[in-house]
Structure 1
Amino acid sequence: MNYLVAVLPDRSQAEAAYSALQKEGLPSDGINILGNGYQSADDYGLIDPNVAASQEINRELYWLLGFGFVAGFAFNWLTAIDIFPGIVPIGNHIIGGIFGAAAGGLGAYFSGRTIGLTIGSGDALPYRNRLNAGKYLVIVKGTGELVDRATRILRQFEPENIQGYTEPIGT
């Protein structure tokens, strides 16, 4: 499935573009308008950057908590630092491991959040920002030939941005 996303500055241009696409025979079920008074980004299914960030954090937590515990345990064992002098050495090693796991968790949170917000959401974040700024998105979904026809039609409206996407096979 191919997608075409055009960013238009106001509602009247988005409606005019929608009408022009329908007039040229493009199917109505493959054309959507996102913006104030129409579908929202969430209604359409645009990836929420916070969801992508949470998924990345969870993926990193899976590994970094374990590696952090092992690293903290090993560091305490090798350095023989007494975190609490009254505890047996294995207890101090375990506490060192817990500190290492906590450091791994913080690392997963900060790096996962950064990666999820910047990379994980793809182009969804810039599109959401444009919607929040009062712009409108006209999205055309269909075959390659249909998207090419839509591109020629939408260029007449001088969109701020026009971008085509191809859905990966198997999704």
Structure 2
Amino acid sequence: MNYLVAVLPDRKQAEAAYSALEEAGFPISQVNILGNGYMSADEFGLKDPGKQARKQKNLLFYWLVPFGFVAGYAFNFLTNIEIFPEFNEIGNHISAGFLGGIAGALGAGLLGGGIGEKVSSGNILPYRNRLDAGKYLILVHGNEDLTQEATRVLYQFEPENLQRYTESSVK
């Protein structure tokens, strides 16, 4: 399956492009308009990278905080390092466990939230940003010949961006 994404600046051009595709005989079931008044990015299935990153961060938090606590406790138990001189041996072990848990929480926030959003967004984030800016997307999906013909039809509307994808490059 191949995909073609065209970014158009306003609703009038998006509707004209859709009509041109319809007149050229394209199956309407394979053409979508995304934008204000039409299908949203979430309805079409363009996942919000921020939402995905929050899910990933929560999952990492769930696993890394307890692991960090156990690792910190075990390390202090094995080495008998005195973190706080005023605490007894058990108090130092528990303090080390809390510090390990804090390190796990920081790791989950950094990897799941910050880096996770940048890595998982791929090409979706620029398209979502354009939709948020009031632009419109025309999406055509089908075989290679269909997307090549759609490229020729849509090119006459001078889209801001015209990008083709194959099934293997789309997540």
TM-score band, normalised by shorter chain = 0.7 to 0.9
SS of match in other structure, 1:100: helix
Distance 1:79-1:156 versus aligned 2 partners, 3 A rule = farther
Trace 1:72-111 onto structure 2 (pairs within 5 A).
72-77=72-77, 78=79, 80-83=81-84, 85-87=86-88, 89-111=89-111
Task: State the Cα RMSD in Å.
Answer: 2.3
Match of 1:163 in 2: 163
Deviation readout 1:28-72 (Å, 9 max, x if unpaired): 011111111111111111111122202332453365335523542
How far apart are the structure 2 equivalents of 1:158 and 1:30? 21
SS of match in other structure, 1:7: strand
Q: Is the 8 A contact 1:60 1:112 kept in 2?
A: yes
Q: Is the 8 A contact 1:34 1:136 kept in 2?
A: yes
Deviation, structure 1 residue 13: 0.8
Match of 1:41 in 2: 41
Q: Which runs of 5+ in 1 are unaligned?
A: none
Moved more, 10-19 or 59-68: 59-68
Trace 1:111-126 onto structure 2 (pairs within 5 A).
111-126=111-126
Trace 1:44-59 onto structure 2 (pairs within 5 A).
44-59=44-59
Trace 1:127-166 onto structure 2 (pairs within 5 A).
127-166=127-166
Q: Is the 8 A contact 2:2 2:166 kept in 1?
A: yes
Q: Which runs of 5+ in 2 are unaligned?
A: none
Between the two proteins, what is the percent identity of the paired residues?
Answer: 57
Match of 2:25 in 1: 25
TM-score (norm 1): 0.86
How far apart are the structure 2 equivalents of 1:43 and 1:86? 56
Deviation readout 1:88-132 (Å, 9 max, x if unpaired): x24421331222122111221122112232121221211111111
Deviation, structure 1 residue 10: 0.7
TM-score (norm 2): 0.86
Count of residues in correspondence between the two structures: 169
Deviation, structure 1 residue 85: 3.0
Deviation, structure 1 residue 152: 1.3
Trace 1:3-14 onto structure 2 (pairs within 5 A).
3-14=3-14
Q: Is the 8 A contact 2:83 2:96 kept in 1?
A: no
